[in-house]
Structure formats: structure tokens, C-alpha cells
């Protein structure tokens, strides 16, 4: 089966923060591939990879990177697919650097950025996009949201004063 | 024709910043509707609106707001469509407040955030999503990117020293 | 007895930071109820809850949340009671995100925001409000402030040079 | 008639930003008094003023100040009334300095802080507090919120594409 | 002997960061007194203390505080002595809050602010001020600076490549 | 007459912001000299100047600079006098850069920093230091503070509602 | 003559800020070429350009860009020449975004970053590098620095009090 | 052999962050010397050192410092060599203070600044500069970059779903 989502990260050290995206894609039974590719250290590989994505059937890209986080922007510049950026809180500036490097893209080449280290939200956003075409994904998304509601509404505070 | 994109903003004062999104959607001949709705001042209207979007055929939401910019998050909480947030630089904090209020969503309810005041990129991201299903949109996107390349590469610096 | 104060938080992980508010309300013998409700994951429950508060006799709401902390604003948008917000320092931005998401509300829907993680101050502010109507609460507040003064003025620095 | 609200500001230059609070209090027919008092330049006057507020029937204090904005905290330290702080965006740091100086109060002495320059919200929060005791104020608040909803929901975007 | 320097801090939790100032004053054999006083929890005590300083022969005040660090400003507002502020990095904002609360004082009431947690520099600045009147202090200061130069210039990097 | 205060600035463009310090020193009849000297463009001149200050009877240095504002630190490193730094809001970062470059000095070489562009406070702090030795300056300072109190307490808000 | 320096910018709107670099290179009679190339809108052109630089004799690259300023990093990733980055203060975040996007590069691919909008310093740094090989450039640099010293030391403050 | 690179740091506590630069210079067999010198505590030594560098054949300076990080600027002001600054994340502001103190230099005296704590990049930038004159260094740089590419492209994610 062809992957629908590409999960790309700038270095292996980003994996612990990007894992949650993969777990959620697994949970939704969405095919994906995961790659380590660097906008700066392997620019040619990255560009070839980005240019080949659409032909191979990939529909959404999730890209996580820290510091001067150019990875999602470099992919966005080399394909026509929606690119979702995950700023990683690597280094002393706690991800403020990667957030700004990702979200402040020039007009014409967007990166849809989610919260710092929040690869879960990147996966859900990818799933919302895929659900526009795929009824089964849409149904799973609906169920997921219902279960989340139930889970939160069952949380309770032991011993609170409820009059 | 049913609109494919909903462009929502929190107040009429956001319109000058959100206009570029509408112009780009027009340019791509993508049907959209534009609404002023406030997460805080018209919460019931907003929720009804968000809940009705999918049934009416809307596929992507673009939401712009300033300061404590809850609008895109409130829509995302009430529908299953991909929501793209545009932080507006309203007030003394230059949009850093709206950027953080938008992008730092809790896990499960993503807002794909673009740059401050950059509604153009919200429109292009919406178009990239629609292009996954609509061949005509995809072709226009390809042409737009080619034209952008040509336009930038024709820019020149008068009188530069080219040896 | 009806609760006078509602203490709401976005997730159970906020409890350690919100506990101090409950302890202070207990100390002042102010009836309260504590709830976990999410602006994004349980929006309908939250709105119903907010709309029902006044009828049940609640007079002040304390709401704590982290990151894109929309919870207090969502409650404020759905009731006429004073809402006190507690930004929680969850995640890499140390609560600057939740502070700005809370305090920068649009005109007409205020959230009276206290310091990051400072739920104690939310409780005291709630008590100051209740004291306007309730003589016994006012007396306890007076005593509390006197005792705080005494406590601080008895603190001393061992071995300091006092000439 | 005794004033119910005290509107205090650190210097006459804060008046343009604090005016909106007074206009809203006027609109709600809430009695108030306005004073210029400085935590640093007239500390004795300020303390006497703060200590005398409750006896004169004042129930809520609104205090606006810029830069190292100690005014609301100094009042809060010298009375038991709820104090609402308005950070003013005076000087090169755009009010981030006054926001932090106001909101980050030590435990026990809260300042309920509203958005930068947003004295309108300070007035509404004061009114929400007064409405707990005063039925007429509560009714006006209800009407105000209804009118705001109507006003926002009547805003429209000329020439938008509504399919 | 009368103390020449007053070292004041807002709470006992500031002591570990303020200790270095006291050690340096001890090293320079400058008489000082140390006090815990709060601008917000013991305002009357603080004001009496500040007003009495000059009469008792104190010449310089060092005041350390965290968060909305009003302590040095409150002392400066109530005496004519030079006040040196030490912002303490207490809480999630790492002292940026206390730095801005201290340094951005209104015109007429200065606080000479040193680096975050850098009470050593507050002590040295106090000593530089005292040295203007006291030859022995000036001589010790000269010696201290000479020794510091020697100490730094003797630091070496083991195994460095020195050609 | 020998100057008691040296007012130094990094470039002539700082003069409009530093002028207020000179006006206040004039008002207090304190002798001063003003110089333009750059830590980076005229390092040797600056060091000679700093080293000669004490011998010529200067007792306090006020140094204003923008951006990477090394000027006050460079003077402090080359003399034993108290140095007061004025961060200037030159350039896009609004003086946050100069504030941090000035206040965050290494242990042993303090710069007593005042608010951004607030050269008035640098002058007052210098006067507070000089007043420790000079009775006439102390008396003028007392009078100045009294007049400031009177001036602020006479400010009034036209048409305010005073019950 | 072959250009020794390439001055690249992301869009024509950066030209006013980048002009100073060109004027200084002209003043030093250093051959340069100026190009508008975008990391995102013309990625292939940019990469070809970067890869061809060394062969054409270019020795230093100066690259200016605003917002998510990937341009200098993209060039650095595709050549072995020293790349100097100029963050441009384009948009609401005043260049803090471009500064962080430029300076926080991953290990192995440096961008030597100068101050926001300070293309003059990029030119001087390029000249310092060229001066290592070119005696004439080194002499001009020496003269330039001497003249700067003279210029600054001749600046004076009219009417200052020089005792 | 004469050192080509000088690696200077403000205190021994910077050594762990600066070590990587030395390891890389060793790896490239570039001669260097390492020194601890302080802009503030040993200003005369530093200036003599900076002025003597060029005569001894040093071609590039790498200078690391924390907080008010004046060291690289002070060196740049006293020699004509290219100076590369490494901001060190010492203290509560995580290196934002040292980054701004370093990069925001006045026109005419540049410091080419690399990422916070990223002394590796300072070494590579120095090597890129040396490679302009030294064919052997250029060849090693080429090899290094090739190996980095290989190393990154061989990184893989165990158990990823590759269709």
C-alpha cells in the first residue's frame, strides 16, 4: 500500500517528540512513511524526496524540526502538497526559534504550523485533511473525537466540594 | 454553488488583513463564504455555524483573529474540518499574543497556523488541501507556482555590479 | 449548601497547580465546586455548565488552563459572572502563552488574570469579591491579611548584622 | 451618592487609555470617582487613599499604569477590595513590562489583570462584580451583552461570496 | 557601629540569591543590616523602615525581589538614598518579570538595577558608592579589582594548543 | 570647577534621549561634562577617558548606548566609580537588546541600569549618590521630591465624577 | 573582473536595507554581484546559483532576508563559502523572527549573522575576510577604521559643561 | 607552527560549551590557541592580546561569552580580523541576552554570530574562511560535508512504515 502521509524529521534526536504523530496515524490505520532528512545537511536528497512525494501518492507531509527549523519550508518549496510543521523545543530557546522559523513563511509557500512539540496535532490535522476524501478516515475521526469527549468528561477531582 | 472554503474573522477590523485570502481564492476560482463571528461575543452563533459547515459542503476553514485569538480553536472544537488560523497583529503585542493563542492548541484539536497577518498563505494552504481532490485546482496551483518563480527570477537590481 | 465559587480546569494535569486555590477556599470556609472541563474537547458540556452557573448560585468562577488557554474566556463568553483566569505554565513556553491567551481578551468579555500558576491569588481575589456581600468572609479576609503581615514580619535572617 | 468604583491612574498621560472605562461606567450609570495618584511619587497620599476606600463605600478599584506598573499592587496591598489592573502600553516595551509588573503579584495580594490598554474590560469586570449585589446593574449587563451580540451578528462583509 | 548598607529582600526564599551580596560586604568589612520586608504583605513596616534609613546612617540600599518585584521601587519612593535592585529569577518567567518590574521605574524615582540574581554586583556597586567618601573602602576596592584581574589571567585551559 | 558627573554616550544620535539627564543635572546645579565616546569605534580614547575620570574629580558616570550597548560596561571595567547605564531604544528591538547588554554584566563589574531611554532617572540616581557627601545637593533633592509630590497631587481629571 | 562577493536578497523589498552593504563594497572597490533569489519561491535557481559560486571566484556570500529567513541557510547548505546573514526587520515581529531563523542553524552549516538590518556590518565582515588574502583591501580597511575613529572623536556636544 | 585561529572565552565556565570548536579545529588539523580573557575583568590584557593577533599570524578569532557578552565585540574593536561570536546560554535568560549583546553591534565593527552554545558552527565558519587561502583545508571541508551527508542519510527510523 502507498503511504498517504510522509513524516519527516531533521534528525534522529527529534524522534521522541515526533513519535506521537506516528502512533496516532497507526491508530487511525493511515499508511505513512517516516524519514530523517535535513534541509541543510542533505539538501539534494531532501529536494528529490519532496519532488517525488506526489507521484508516489503521498497527500500530506508532516515535518518536525528544531532551532532554525527550515525543513518544512524546504519541503513546501519543492512540492504542492499541504505541509504541516511541528516546531521542536530543541536547545535553549525552548522552541520559540523553531516556531518563528516555521510559521513566518513568505507569501505563497505556507507551512501549517501546530504547537511546539505537539506532533499529535500534526497527525490529527493530517487526518482531518485525508478525511475529506476518505469516508472511513472521517468515521474514525468522528469516533475519536467522541471518545475524547467521553474521556475528559469522566475525569473527576477526588474529594472536591460539590455541595 | 456551495462554498468550499469558509473565511471567518473575529471583527470587521480584521478585514484589511484577511482580504488577501479572499482575493487569492477568487483568483483560483474557489467558492468561499466570508463571515464575521466572534468566539466571545457571539458564541452560540459561532458554534451553530461551525457545526453546520460540513453538511453544507465546506471543506476547509480559514479563521483570522487578533489578541487572545480563540476563534479558530473554537471552530476546530466544533467541527471535523481542517482549520487554518491567521494570527492578526492587532494591538501593542504585534500579534505574538494571537500567534501563541492559536498555535498552542491542546492535543486533539489542531489549528494549522500560518504567519502573522499572512492570510495569503492561509488561502494557498486551503488550495493545496482542495487540490488533493480537485484536478482543476491542482493545475491552477501548479501554474501559480510556476508564475511566482518566473516573477521572482525576473526581479532585478538596477545598477548592480555584475563584473 | 450551594457552592459560591466554581473552580474549573482544562485537564487533570492542571490539578497540582490549582489545588492551592481550593485549599484557600477551604480555609476561608467558602463553598466551591471543582470541575474538569475543556473549551476544546468538551465544548458543549462547558457551555451548558457556564450557562447554568448563575442559576445555581455560583458567584465567581476561577478557571485555570495552559498553552492556548481558552477555558476562562469560553466561560466568560457564556455567563455574566466575574471570571478569574490562572495561566498554567504547561509546556516549553513557561506559561507566557497561557498568560497572553487569557489576558488579551476582546473588549466586552473580560478575564481578570492572576500570575502564572498563582491559583492562590485567584482564590483570594474571589474571596475579596465575595467579601463585598458577606460580612463573615470579610472578617476572615481581614484576619488572614493581619496574620500574613505577622508571619512575614517575624521572618528573620539568622546571623545578619544588625549593628 | 457615594462612588462604587474608584478609577485610579498613575499619571495624566494614562487618561486617554483609561477614558473608555469611565465611559462604560457612565453608560451603566455606575457611580465612580477618578483620581491621579502615583505609587512612587505620592506614596503617602496613595496609601491613605487606599485605606479609606472601603469606609467611603467604594467596592471595586480599577487601576491603570505603565512601565513598572506598581500602582494596582500598591492599592491592593493597602485595602481588602478587589483590584483590577490595566497595563498601559507606555514606552518602548509596548506594555509587556506593565503587564508583567501587574499580573505577577506575590501570593496573598492579587491584582486581577485585563489586557494591555483594555480599560473597557476593567469596567465590565467591575460591573460583573457589582452585579452580584445590584439587580439593576445585572439587568443592564444582560442587555449590554445582548446588544453586543446583535451588533456583531449584524456586521457583514460587503461583496463576499455567499454562494 | 551603624550599618552603612541595608540589604532587604521580599521573602526568605530570596536569601540564597541575596547571600552573595552579604558575603562581599563582609569581605569588604562594610557594616550592613539584612531584613525581610514585603512591599505588598507588610507595606506599613516597609515604609517606616525606608523613611528611617537615612537617620540611622544607612547610605545605600540593596533590595532583591522576584516576579512583580516592587520592593526596591517602594523603598526608593520612601527615601532619598540610592537604591540598587536585584531581580530574582523566581517562577516560570526566569526573572524577566522582576527585571522589567524593577528597571522600568517612572521618572524621578530611580532603581539602579543589576543583573538577574546577581546580588554580587549590587554589593560591588554599593561599595563603589561608599568608596567615594571612605578612603579605606576605596583601597579595598582597588585591591579587589587587581586580585580579580590576577585570578582571571591565571586561569588556563589545560592542554590547549599554543603553538 | 571640576565636573562631578560624566555623561557619556555612544553616538550623537543618542543625544535627544540623554538630554534630559543634562537638564536635570543643570537644574540641580551639579557640574558635569558630556562626551561622545564609543566602546567599539574609539576604544583607546574611551579607556584613557575612563582611567582618568577619578583623578579629575568625577564621582559618578552616566553612560547611554543602544543595541549591543557595551559603553557603560567598558567604562565600568576601566574605573572604580559607580557607573549608571541608560539603555537607548535604538533600532527594531526597542531597547530590549541594550537593556540586556547593559544589565547582565559579569560579577565584579556592575552597571546600575535604569529604564529604557530614562536618562532622567540616571541623573536622579547620580544626584542621590552625590547627596551622600554634599548637603546642598541633598537639600535640593528633598525639595525636588516634595515639588514632584505637589505637582502630581494637583493633577486632576476634568469632569470626573466625585460624588 | 570576477565578483568576490555575492549579495543576495529574498525579495526586492529587502533592497533598501541591503543597499548599505553594496555602497560599502563600492567604497572599498570590492567587486560584487547582487541578486534577488528566494529559498522558497525559486529553490532550484537558488541551489544552482549557490553551487556555482565558488567556481566563478566568489569568496564570500552576504544574504539578507526577513521573517522565516531561510535564504542564507539554504546557500550555506549548497556551497563551502563563508555565508554572512543579515536579518531584515520585515513584518510585525521586528526582525526577531529572521534573527532566530538565521542564527540558530544546525551544527555543520553555519551562518555568521550580523545585527538586524545591519547590512553595513555584513559588508565590513566580508571585507575583513577578503583582507586576509588581499593586501590592498587590508590597507583600505585600516584606513577606514582610522577615519571612523577620527570622525567619532570629532563629534561634540554643543554647549556641554566642560568645567 | 603559528596558530591560525584564536579561541577566546570569557571564563573557564564557558569551556564545556567552547570545547566542540577546539575538537573540530583539531579534526581539521588547523592550528589554534585557546585563551581565557575577560572584556571586563582583564580589559588591558584583552586589548593587548587583540592588537597583537594579526602580527602573530592569527587569521580568525572565535570568541564565546555569556550574559552581557561583550568579549567578541571588544576583540573586534581592537583588531581587523574577522571575529566569530558564540553566545553562551549562561544564566536565567538562556542565552537570549548574550545573543543580542553579540549580534547587535554598531555599524563598522561586526561580529559574525552563530547559534547559542553552537561553537561547532563557529569552528566550521572559521574553517570556511581559512579554506579560501588554504587548499588542504578546503579539501578537508569538502570531505567533512560529504561525510555529514552520508551520516545523516544513513540514519533510519526503526520499524517505520514504508509501505
Set of chain D residues whose Cβ sits within 8 Å of the Cβ of E105:
40, 67-68
G68 touches chain B (CB under 8 A): yes
Set of chain A residues whose Cβ sits within 8 Å of the Cβ of G44:
47
Q: Is pLDDT of H130 > 60?
A: yes
Neighbours of G73 (CB within 10 A): 30
Q: Do H40 and F73 touch (CB under 8 A)?
A: yes
3-class DSSP assignment, residue F89: coil
Q: Do A68 and H115 touch (CB under 8 A)?
A: yes
Q: Do F40 and H91 touch (CB under 8 A)?
A: no
Q: Do C152 and E37 touch (CB under 8 A)?
A: yes
Among chain G residues, CA nearest to B94 = G92
**Cell (9 digits) for B63:** 479563521
Q: Which phi and psi (to 5°) does residue A144 adopt? A: -60, -45
Q: Do H92 and E116 touch (CB under 8 A)?
A: yes
DSSP conformational letter for D105: P
pLDDT at D161: 40
What is the Cα–Cα distance from G137 to G32, expressed in whole angstroms? 14
Q: Is H19 exposed, middle or buried (0-12, 13-18, 19+ CB in 10 A)?
A: middle
Q: Do H108 and G125 touch (CB under 8 A)?
A: no
Give the Å distances, CA to CA, from H13 to E152, F21, H39.
Answer: 12, 38, 15
Q: Is pLDDT of E160 > 70?
A: no
Q: Is pLDDT of D159 > 70?
A: no
F38 touches chain G (CB under 8 A): yes
3-class DSSP assignment, residue E100: helix
Beta strand pairing status for H32-36 and E60-66?
unpaired
N-terminal to C-terminal alpha carbon distance within chain C: 56
Reported as a single tens digit per residue, the pLDDT across C32-51 is 999 999 999 899 999 999 99
Q: Do B33 and D163 touch (CB under 8 A)?
A: yes
Chains G and F: 3 or more CB pairs within 8 Å of each other: yes
Pairs of residues, one from chain F and one from chain H, whose beta carbons lie less than 8 Å apart = 101
Reported as a single tens digit per residue, the pLDDT across A65-98 is 999 999 999 999 999 999 999 999 999 999 999 9
C89 touches chain B (CB under 8 A): no
Set of chain A residues whose Cβ sits within 8 Å of the Cβ of G93:
100, 104
B128 touches chain G (CB under 8 A): no
Q: What's the mean pLDDT when you consider all of chain G? A: 94
Q: Which phi and psi (to 5°) does residue A85 adopt? A: -100, 140
Neighbours of E7 (CB within 10 A): 29
**Cell (9 digits) for H20:** 566542540
Among chain H residues, CA nearest to A16 = H157
Q: Which of A149-163, E31-45, E96-110, G32-46 has the lowest mean pLDDT?
A: A149-163
Query: What order of strands is seen across the sheet that includes strand A60-66?
Result: A32-36, A5-9, A60-66, A83-88, A112-113, B112-113, B83-88, B60-66, B5-9, B32-36
F158 touches chain D (CB under 8 A): no
Set of chain E residues whose Cβ sits within 8 Å of the Cβ of F119:
none
D115 touches chain B (CB under 8 A): yes
Give the confidence band of C84 by pLDDT, cuts at 50, 70, 90: very high
pLDDT at D156: 73
CB D129 within 8 A of CB C132: yes
Chains G and D: 3 or more CB pairs within 8 Å of each other: no
Q: What's the mean pLDDT when you consider all of chain H? A: 94
CB C64 within 8 A of CB C18: yes
CB B125 within 8 A of CB A61: no
Q: What is the mean pLDDT of residues D63-90?
A: 97
What is the Cα–Cα distance from H53 to D53, expressed in whole angstroms? 69
* Closest CB to D92 among F94, F148, F149: F94
Set of chain A residues whose Cβ sits within 8 Å of the Cβ of G78:
43
pLDDT at D1: 74
* Closest CB to H73 among F11, F40, F98: F40
CB D3 within 8 A of CB D29: no
Q: What's the mean pLDDT when you consider all of chain D? A: 94
Q: Do C121 and D110 touch (CB under 8 A)?
A: yes
List, for chain F, all residue ranges whose pLDDT scores fall below the cut of 50. Answer: 159-163
**What element of type H or E holds C119?**
helix C119-130
pLDDT at A160: 44
H50 touches chain G (CB under 8 A): no
Give the Å distances, CA to CA, from G72 to F92, G84, H122.
Answer: 21, 7, 16
What is the Cα–Cα distance from F32 to F26, expressed in whole angstroms? 8
* Closest CB to F33 among G96, G117, G162: G162
pLDDT at F159: 46
Set of chain A residues whose Cβ sits within 8 Å of the Cβ of G74:
39, 43, 70, 74
H81 touches chain G (CB under 8 A): yes
What is the Cα–Cα distance from C100 to C95, expressed in whole angstroms? 9
- Give which of F154, E91, B93 is closest to D107, Cα–Cα: E91
Among chain D residues, CA nearest to F145 = D41
Reported as a single tens digit per residue, the pLDDT across E4-47 is 999 999 999 999 999 999 999 999 999 999 999 999 989 999 99
Q: Outline where chain F has alpha helix (H).
A: 15-27, 43-52, 71-76, 96-103, 119-130, 135-154
* Closest CB to G33 among B148, B152, B163: B163
Q: Is pLDDT of D162 > 50?
A: no
Among chain G residues, CA nearest to A108 = G41
- Give which of H9, H75, H5 is closest to H47, Cα–Cα: H75
* Closest CB to F156 among D32, D36, D91: D36
**Cell (9 digits) for B155:** 526581479
Sign of the torsion formed by the C-alpha atoms of F83, F88, F94 and F98: negative
Q: Do A161 and C31 touch (CB under 8 A)?
A: yes
* Closest CB to H36 among E96, E116, E152: E152
G154 touches chain F (CB under 8 A): no
Alpha-carbon C121 to chain mean position: 7
CB C163 within 8 A of CB E1: yes
What Rg value do the Cα atoms of chain A yield, rounded? 17
Q: Do E93 and D102 touch (CB under 8 A)?
A: no
Set of chain A residues whose Cβ sits within 8 Å of the Cβ of B133:
132-133
* Closest CB to H157 among A15, A38, A92: A15
Q: What is the mean pLDDT of residues B140-150?
A: 94
Q: What's the mean pLDDT when you consider all of chain A? A: 94
Q: Do E105 and F115 touch (CB under 8 A)?
A: yes
Among residues of chain E, what percentage have pLDDT more than 90?
88
Chains that touch B (3 or more CB pairs under 8 A): A, C, D, G
Q: Outline where chain G has alpha helix (H).
A: 15-27, 43-52, 71-76, 96-103, 119-131, 135-154
Among chain H residues, CA nearest to F92 = H104
Reported as a single tens digit per residue, the pLDDT across B7-18 is 999 999 999 999
* Closest CB to C33 among A117, A149, A163: A163
Q: Is pLDDT of G13 > 80?
A: yes
What is the Cα–Cα distance from A9 to F38, expressed in whole angstroms? 46
pLDDT at C21: 98
B55 touches chain D (CB under 8 A): no
Cβ-Cβ contacts under 8 Å for D64 (sequence gap 6 or more): D7, D8, D9, D10, D14, D17, D18, D21, D71, D72, D85, D86, D87, D88, D119, D122
Q: Do G45 and B149 touch (CB under 8 A)?
A: yes
Q: Is pLDDT of G163 > 60?
A: no
ipTM: 0.95
Q: Which phi and psi (to 5°) does residue D125 adopt? A: -65, -40
Q: How far is E2 from chain C (nearest CA, A)?
A: 6
pTM of the model: 0.96
Q: Do H112 and G112 touch (CB under 8 A)?
A: yes
Q: What is the dihedral of CA F37, F39, F45, F47, to 10 degrees?
A: 120
pLDDT at F66: 97
What is the Cα–Cα distance from B22 to B15, expressed in whole angstroms? 10
Set of chain B residues whose Cβ sits within 8 Å of the Cβ of C89:
none
3-class DSSP assignment, residue D19: helix
Reported as a single tens digit per residue, the pLDDT across C100-146 is 999 999 999 999 999 999 999 999 999 999 999 999 999 999 999 99
Q: Is pLDDT of B158 > 90?
A: no
pLDDT at G66: 97
G47 touches chain B (CB under 8 A): no
Among residues of chain B, what percentage have pLDDT more than 70?
96
Q: What is the mean pLDDT of residues G144-159?
A: 82
Q: Is pLDDT of H36 > 90?
A: yes
Q: How far is F161 from chain E (nearest CA, A)?
A: 27
Q: Do D92 and F116 touch (CB under 8 A)?
A: yes
DSSP conformational letter for E34: E
pLDDT at H159: 46
Give the confidence band of A151 by pLDDT, cuts at 50, 70, 90: confident
Q: What is the dihedral of CA B89, B90, B91, B94, to 10 degrees?
A: 0
Test mutation, A2, A51, A112, A124, chain B, max B CBs within 10 A: A112
Amino acid at each position: 500500500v502507498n503511504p498517504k502521509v510522509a513524516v519527516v524529521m531533521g534528525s534522529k534526536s527529534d524522534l521522541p517528540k515526533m513519535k506521537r504523530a506516528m502512533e496516532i496515524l497507526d491508530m487511525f490505520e493511515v499508511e505513512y512513511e517516516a524519514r530523517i532528512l535535513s534541509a541543510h545537511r542533505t539538501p539534494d536528497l531532501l529536494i528529490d524526496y519532496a519532488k517525488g512525494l506526489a507521484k508516489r501518492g503521498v497527500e500530506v507531509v508532516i515535518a518536525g524540526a528544531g532551532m532554525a527549523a527550515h525543513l518544512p519550508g524546504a519541503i513546501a518549496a519543492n512540492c504542492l502538497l499541504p505541509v504541516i510543521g511541528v516546531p521542536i523545543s530543541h536547545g535553549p530557546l525552548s522552541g520559540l526559534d523553531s516556531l518563528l522559523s516555521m510559521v513566518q513563511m513568505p507569501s505563497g509557500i505556507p507551512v501549517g504550523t501546530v504547537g511546539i512539540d505537539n506532533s499529535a496535532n500534526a497527525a490529527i490535522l493530517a487526518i482531518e485533511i485525508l478525511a475529506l476524501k476518505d469516508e472511513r478516515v472521517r468515521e474514525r475521526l468522528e469516533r475519536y473525537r467522541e471518545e475524547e469527549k467521553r474521556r475528559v468528561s469522566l475525569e473527576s477531582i477526588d474529594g472536591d466540594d460539590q455541595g
